[in-house]
Amino acid sequence: MLQEDNNIPFFELLGNLQAREDALKKIAGKINDKERVLDLATGSGYLVRNLIDKDAFVVCLDMDVGPLIKTKKELPDLHFVVADARNLPFKNTSFDYVVTWSALVHIEDWKDVVRESFRVSNKMLTAEPHGAYCVRAFRDFRCMHNHPEVKEIKKEFETYGRTSVESGEFITIISTEN
Ligand SMILES: C[S@@+](CC[C@H](N)C(=O)[O-])C[C@H]1O[C@@H](n2cnc3c(N)ncnc32)[C@H](O)[C@@H]1O
């Protein structure tokens, strides 16, 4: 488990929302026009908002219908599915890319999500908060399970192919290299 760093006040973490926006833009930059993209655990849609200018076919999936309905109202051109990311309702290799932001750290059975992602696509990219940002978020959202460390996620990705990691101060992007 990560240790909480009480020396970092929450407003400082909020200040790093810019780091989040930069990371999400970076993800969007990896998506090519015409690609079929699955955004797992869409929630409030911070990541997919960065994809709307792409000429891509974007499917948003979350198992919580509430935030998904709200996001759908704001982004009516995208496609929305209520489902469990651990058991995706899609055929093998249905997508060119699976992307996620702040998803795996919230899902106890995250390895099942990675396995399902690599079943429906050959490429996956996840951006996860880490360090104090992550621990603080978990405390605030009362999420109690032992969320994975970046190195564990990387190791799991590597069982599916070459993997690269770009670490920022609060956010790490883990993605397949192909
Ligand atoms: C921090 S939010 C994700 C933020 C979002 N990716 C964005 O860009 O705004 C975490 C989301 O994970 C979703 N979630 C948790 N477990 C899930 C599962 N097994 N399948 C699908 N979604 C799940 C929650 O409903 C929640 O919306």
**Beta strands per DSSP E along 11-114:** 36-40, 57-62, 79-82, 97-101
Compare 86 and 6 and report the one with higher pLDDT: 86
Domains (ranges, CATH) in the chain? 10-176 (3.40.50.150)
Distance (Å) from CA 166 to ligand 1 centroid: 22
41 lines ligand 1 (CB under 6 A): yes
- Ligand 1 close to Cβ of residue 101 (< 6 A): yes
Nearest CA to ligand 1 atom 2: 43
pLDDT band at 16 (very low <50, low <70, confident <90, very high): low
What is the rounded radius of gyration, in angstroms, for the C-alpha atoms of the chain? 15
Distance 5 CA to ligand 1 centre (A): 25
pLDDT at 13 over 60: no
